[in-house]
Amino acid sequence: MATIKLTIEYDGTAYAGWQRQPNQPTIQGAVETALTRITKQQISIIAAGRTDAGVHARGQVASFQSDKSIPVDKWRLALNSALPKDISVVSSEQVPESFHARYSAKEKLYEYRISRHPARPAIDRNRVWHLPCDLDTQAIRHAMSGFIGRHDFTSFQGPRASTSDPMCVVSQVSLTSDLMTLTIQIQANRFLKQMVRTIIGTLTEVGRHKRSPDSVTDILQAKDRRAAGETAPPQGLYLLHVWY
The residues annotated with a catalytic role in the active site are: 52
Does the pLDDT of residue 151 top 90, yes or no?
yes
**H-helix segments, 123-235:** 137-144, 195-207, 216-222
User: What residues contact 136, with CB distance under 8 A and at least 6 apart?
Assistant: 206, 207, 208, 209
46 or 158: which carries more pLDDT confidence?
46
pLDDT of residue 219: 98
Say what the pTM is.
0.95
pLDDT tens sequence across 60-89: 999 999 999 899 999 999 999 999 999 999
pLDDT of residue 164: 83
Is 100 domain-assigned? no
Is 38 domain-assigned? yes
What residues pair up with 65 in beta bridges, in sequence order? 3
Same domain assignment for residues 81 and 112: no
Same domain assignment for residues 42 and 135: no
| SS3 call for 139 | helix
Does the pLDDT of residue 108 top 80, yes or no?
yes
Question: Residue 161 — pLDDT band, cuts 50, 70, 90?
Answer: confident
Express as a percent the part of the chain with pLDDT over 90.
95
Residue 201 lies in domain: 107-243
pLDDT of residue 131: 97
Same domain assignment for residues 42 and 74: yes
Question: Residue 159 — pLDDT band, cuts 50, 70, 90?
Answer: confident
Q: What is the CATH number of the domain that holds 58?
A: 3.30.70.580
Task: Calculate mean pLDDT across residues 200-207.
Answer: 98
Chain mean pLDDT for the chain: 96
Does the pLDDT of residue 162 top 80, yes or no?
no
Q: What is the CATH number of the domain that holds 158?
A: 3.30.70.660
What residues pair up with 109 in beta bridges, in sequence order? 187, 241
Same domain assignment for residues 65 and 146: no
Of 72-81, 128-137, 138-147, 154-163, least confident by mean pLDDT is 154-163
Same domain assignment for residues 172 and 200: yes
Taking alpha carbons only, the member of 146, 145, 144, 164 closest to residue 154 is 164
**CA distance linking residue 93 with residue 62, whole number of Å:** 11
Is 101 domain-assigned? no
pLDDT of residue 83: 98
